[in-house]
Amino acid sequence: MEALIAIVIGVLTACGVYLSLRGRTFPMVLGLTMMSYAVNLFLFVMGRLTIGAPPIIREGASYADPLPQALVLTAIVISFGMTAFVVILALRARAELGNDHVDGEEYPR
């Protein structure tokens, strides 16, 4: 299970880095989103993977670490808001600069 999660996070991050280095705003936004998914998953599993245990400490019973769950909720909300902002900004840049290149100008191929 740990290996599978690690591979998933790695692949998501790699795709995110590749896409966010593209020259157009839309792939770049997708890349940023994928990176934020990767980091959310990463934060979540930092409390270790536990199955069937409640996030409450009780005598003798096993429990799941509740703190990463709280952290990941905060991180999801923030990254969601930031993604919405960057989408609007990209649309505005497309309207004002006349193209969707991140530098605002087309380069000759």
Nearer to other proteins, 50 or 74 (CB): 74
- 106 is written with which tokens? 């087309």
Residues 21-60: x/- map of binding to other proteins (CB under 8 A)? ----x--x---x--xx-xx--xx--xx-------------
CA gap 91, 100 in Å, rounded: 8
Residue from 10, 23, 66, 81 binding other proteins (CB under 8 A): 81
Nearer to other proteins, 57 or 61 (CB): 57
Q: Which of residues 82-101 bind other proteins (CB under 8 A)?
A: 82, 85-86, 89-90, 92-93, 96-97
DSSP characters for 31-55? HHHHHHHHHHHHHHHTT---SS--S
H and E: helices and strands count for the chain: 3, 0
* 64 near other proteins, judged by CB under 8 A: no
Terminal Cα distance for the chain, rounded: 45
Please choose, from the candidates 29, 10, 11, the residue with its C-alpha nearest in 3D space to the C-alpha of residue 19. Answer: 29
Q: Which residues bind other proteins (CB under 8 A)?
A: 20, 25, 28, 32, 35-36, 38-39, 42-43, 46-47, 67-68, 71, 74-75, 78-79, 81-82, 85-86, 89-90, 92-93, 96-97, 102-104
